[in-house]
Amino acid sequence: MYRIRFHGRGGQGMKTAGRILGTSFFLEGFDVQDAPRYGAERRGAPIFAYVRASRSVIQERGVIRRPSLVVVADDTLAGLPEADVLGGQSADTVMAILSDVPEGTWRSRLNLDSPIVCIPRPDAIKGYAGQAMAGVCCAAVAARLCGSIPKSTLARAVREELGFLAPSVLERSLSEASRMFDSLAPYEAVVRDRPDREFSCDNPPGWVELFHDAAAVAAPVIFGGLTSRLLKTGMWRTFRPVIDTARCRRCWWLCSSFCPDSAIHVGDDGIPAIDYEHCKGCLVCVARCPVHAISAVPESRGVRQENGEEAV
Amino acid sequence: MSESGMQYRGMEDFPSTRLFGSGTPMCAGCGGLLVIHQLYDLLGSDTVFINAAGCMTLLSVYPYTPFRGSWLYTAMASAPAGAQGVRDALDILLESDRLRREENLEVVVLTGDGAAYGMGLSATSGALDRGLDFIYLCYDNEGYGNTGQQYSPATPHGAATSTSRGNGGFRGNKKDLFSLWAAHNPPYAATVSASEPLDLARKVEKLRSLRGPRMLLAFSPCPTGWGFEPAQSVMIGNLAVQTGIWPLKEFIGGKVEHTVLPEKRLPVEEYLKRQGRFAHLFASSAGRDIIAELQGAVDRYWEGVR
Ligand SMILES: Cc1ncc(C[n+]2csc(CCOP(=O)(O)OP(=O)(O)O)c2C)c(N)n1
Ligand code: SF4
Ligand code: SF4
Ligand code: SF4
Ligand SMILES: [Mg+2]
């Protein structure tokens, strides 16, 4: 069985990646499961998609804990505990990561001995507009690395899954998939088709007895205000807004009024400050500032600048 | 109210403090969230929000909330009925001196368009009949956002949604909820757009001086469901106003007044071409016909205005 786990952010097409890959396997006669997983969070938050493909009936269910292939669409996720990119990786798990950072760096950063395939990020997925294309690229990566899917089948699956989109978008998706597939010829079939697990009689779960509390105790009542601030949505960002305070005219808080997430506060001195723990990187403030005092910086560079590793 | 008596003359009169909490799970660039925080900054914490099922249900997922005050979740069709119960409870507490006057709360319904234009209409009409003292905020993202942008009765003609994917997009026409409210002759009803915060603040100021059923219908660009970059969220709102697609108006004292008159209306293409949900209209001659139809409807609307 192939067990493939995709990691990306909301908006990067991970659900699409799972569907295209799942359909490709299906067209090749495999038994297939594909399912995305996400919580209440939206665009920008870490998202998972799982695909299982086997020549026999699939008995496994649920999230994939022991992947044979992990595909990472966004390298900023590698360091996020919430994204759990390393979860369940073993010596023969292949990790493919779309990243311009070299393989050796990832090997030492993540302390991995297992195979890493580092794929330079295609131009098509750079910038905000292209992010959705990451899903198509990741499906092509997985198809090539698993090796059981010919290019023509991949193209058929892309047509099947994205046929409802505008013809120009479909054409671009097909050409990106094809380019990615071709570029990975040396990695054909590096992921091995592992034997399925035997399910005879799994141990029953250790039951936890739940008793009923009185409604006054058990009702989901929140007594404190503003607790949402405990959720650090700043990790959703792929770009961060940076204010050039020298250029800021201290206009009447335009950036702050238009920030959907109330993440810009204006001090008594009239200077706005961005709350990076919560800013989701929508870049509305960048678009609204009348004097262009706010610029968008890729998050990875923003972090390096914050740590003093790179000049601002 | 005289122009000079108004509190909000320019952006400098705007609150500079953000009362609404960060850390909610809404999409980056969510236009609905933007209008909620602008309203909340003006209304403050002496409020209780009654939320119909929709994207904004996820604002308060136990134990997290961005509100300083209260919030209650109801089924999709029932928010105005929930508001009635809360208002009645507050009134009983006030009358029996168990709540001081200064502790009174403003009851605010928070609802999506799917609920407001569709299955919530009956409960809303009932609340209007009973003269319920409440504010009704509908953030209109023109579809069932929470469940993956299926079409709703607020979806514009021709828009692609996950349940109207064909060449022509949505076959129906956007319902006129503002006129439905006006037909009930409430003390106040208005359309707003968060891209025009000053217009919004003035309307909130007026509505706070009145009692009874009061509505704000808020244009709420949805990057996820409409297919545009989050950074353009406010610009999409500007274009909806400048093309005349989203008229800013109010119903007060039995009359409809337009609060913003776009001097020279931009062609509707300027608005449509920036959104993935209308992309198919630019790809065929049948699509071009739909664009012409949409332009015709906007032109006819404004001819009727003056
Ligand atoms: C009676 C009922 N039917 C269906 C649902 C499932 N549902 C939850 S949210 C939602 C969409 C609501 O759309 P809208 O009111 O426009 O709010 P939005 O999601 O766009 O914020 C649906 C269909 C429900 N909660 N209740
Ligand atoms: S990018 Fe700007 S507008 Fe968007 S959440 Fe961050 S601070 Fe707010
Ligand atoms: S919008 Fe620009 S000029 Fe105005 S306060 Fe924000 S950064 Fe400064
Ligand atoms: S789907 Fe649309 S309305 Fe719902 S949270 Fe996302 S941007 Fe907001
Ligand atoms: Mg809606």
- Give per-residue pLDDT as tens, B157-212: 999 999 998 889 999 999 999 999 999 999 999 999 999 999 999 999 999 999 99
Q: What mean pLDDT, rounded, does chain A reach?
A: 91
The confidence band for B6, taking pLDDT boundaries of 50, 70 and 90, is: low
Calculate mean pLDDT across residues A37-43: 75
Residue A268 and residue A250: Cα distance in Å, rounded? Answer: 11
| Cβ–Cβ below 8 Å for A286 and B197 | no
Q: What angle do CA B284, B290, B295 make, to 5 degrees?
A: 130
Amino acid at A110: L
- Flag whether pLDDT at A121 surpasses 60: yes
pLDDT at B130: 98
Give how far the C-alpha of residue B73 lies from the chain's centroid of Cα atoms, to the nearest Å.
18
CB B294 within 8 A of CB B169: no
Using CA coordinates, name the residue in chain A closest to B54: A40
pLDDT at B1: 38
pLDDT at B3: 45
3-state DSSP assignment of residue A267: coil
pLDDT at A127: 66
pLDDT at A300: 84
Using CA coordinates, name the residue in chain B closest to A252: B12
Q: What is the DSSP string of B119-169?
A: ITHHHHHHHHHTT--EEEEEEE-SSBGGGT-B--TTSPTT--BTTB-STT-
Cβ-proximal residues to A14 (8 Å cutoff; 6+ apart), any chain: A6, A7, A8, A36, A47, A48, A49, A73, A134, A135, A138
- Flag whether pLDDT at A206 surpasses 90: no
Burial class (CB in 10 A: 0-12, 13-18, 19+), A148: middle
3-state DSSP assignment of residue A5: strand
The confidence band for A209, taking pLDDT boundaries of 50, 70 and 90, is: confident
* Contacts across the A-B interface (CB distance below 8 Å): 155
Calculate mean pLDDT across residues B99-128: 97
B9 and chain A: CB distance < 8 Å anywhere? no
Chain B 145-174, residues with CB within 8 Å of chain A CB atoms = 165
CB A135 within 8 A of CB A16: yes
Report CA(B77)–ligand 1 centroid distance (Å). Answer: 9
Instruction: Quote the minimal CA–CA distance from B33 to chain A in Å.
Output: 6
Out of A56-65, A203-212, A299-308, B229-238, pick the least confident: A203-212
β-pairing, A294-298 with A239-243? antiparallel
- Flag whether pLDDT at B4 surpasses 50: no
How far apart, in Å, are the Cα atoms of A289 and each of A256, B176, B279? 10, 34, 28
- Flag whether pLDDT at A100 surpasses 50: yes
Q: Is the CB of B78 inside a 6 Å radius of any atom of ligand 1?
A: no
pLDDT at A166: 81
B198 and chain A: CB distance < 8 Å anywhere? no
CB A52 within 8 A of CB A65: no
β-pairing, B106-112 with B70-74? unpaired
Of A11, A227, A265, the CB nearest to B64: A227
Sign of CA pseudo-dihedral B290, B296, B297, B298: positive
Q: Is the CB of A261 inside a 6 Å radius of any atom of ligand 2?
A: yes
Calculate mean pLDDT across residues A292-306: 91
Report CA(A128)–ligand 3 centroid distance (Å). Answer: 23
Calculate mean pLDDT across residues B271-275: 97
Question: Residue for token digits 């706010």?
Answer: A294
Q: Inter-axis angle of helices A151-162 and A133-146, to 10 degrees? A: 150
pLDDT at B197: 94
Interface test with B, best of A168, A217, A226, A259 (most B CBs within 10 A): A226
Residue nearest to atom 4 of ligand 3 (CA): A251
Interface test with A, best of B8, B9, B16, B22 (most A CBs within 10 A): B22
Residue nearest to atom 8 of ligand 2 (CA): A259
Cβ-proximal residues to A44 (8 Å cutoff; 6+ apart), any chain: A9, A10, A11, A233, A236, A237, A238, A280, A281, B27, B28
Instruction: Quote the minimal CA–CA distance from B126 to chain A in Å.
Output: 29
| DSSP label of A140 | H
pLDDT at B5: 54
Q: Inter-axis angle of helices A151-162 and A14-27, to 10 degrees? A: 130
Calculate mean pLDDT across residues A247-263: 93
Question: Which domains are assigned to chain B?
Answer: 12-303 (3.40.50.970)
Using one digit for the tens of pLDDT, what is the confidence trace for A47-57?
999 999 999 99
Q: Which two tokens stand for residue A3?
A: 């067990």
Of A40, A233, A283, the CB nearest to B22: A233
Interface test with A, best of B24, B51, B59 (most A CBs within 10 A): B24
State what percent of residues in chain B have pLDDT above 90.
91
Residue B125 and residue B184: Cα distance in Å, rounded? Answer: 8
pTM as predicted? 0.85
Residue B234 and residue B212: Cα distance in Å, rounded? Answer: 31
pLDDT at A97: 97
Question: Residue for token digits 């009702």?
Answer: A219
- Flag whether pLDDT at B242 surpasses 80: yes
State what percent of residues in chain B have pLDDT above 70.
98
Cβ-proximal residues to B2 (8 Å cutoff; 6+ apart), any chain: none
Out of A80-84, A139-143, B63-67, B211-215, pick the least confident: A80-84
**ipTM, 2 dp:** 0.95
Out of A295-309, B20-34, B75-89, B199-213, pick the least confident: A295-309
Calculate mean pLDDT across residues B274-300: 96
Burial class (CB in 10 A: 0-12, 13-18, 19+), B253: exposed
pLDDT at A205: 63
Bridge partners (DSSP) listed for residue A241: A296
Burial class (CB in 10 A: 0-12, 13-18, 19+), A288: buried
The confidence band for A240, taking pLDDT boundaries of 50, 70 and 90, is: very high
The confidence band for B93, taking pLDDT boundaries of 50, 70 and 90, is: very high
Q: Is the CB of A296 inside a 6 Å radius of any atom of ligand 2?
A: no
Cβ-proximal residues to B286 (8 Å cutoff; 6+ apart), any chain: B167, B168
Using one digit for the tens of pLDDT, what is the confidence trace for B137-161?
999 999 999 998 999 999 999 999 9
B204 and chain A: CB distance < 8 Å anywhere? no
The confidence band for A202, taking pLDDT boundaries of 50, 70 and 90, is: low
Q: Is the CB of B152 inside a 6 Å radius of any atom of ligand 4?
A: no
The confidence band for A311, taking pLDDT boundaries of 50, 70 and 90, is: confident
Chain A 142-181, residues with CB within 8 Å of chain B CB atoms = 164, 166-169
| Cβ–Cβ below 8 Å for A227 and B65 | yes
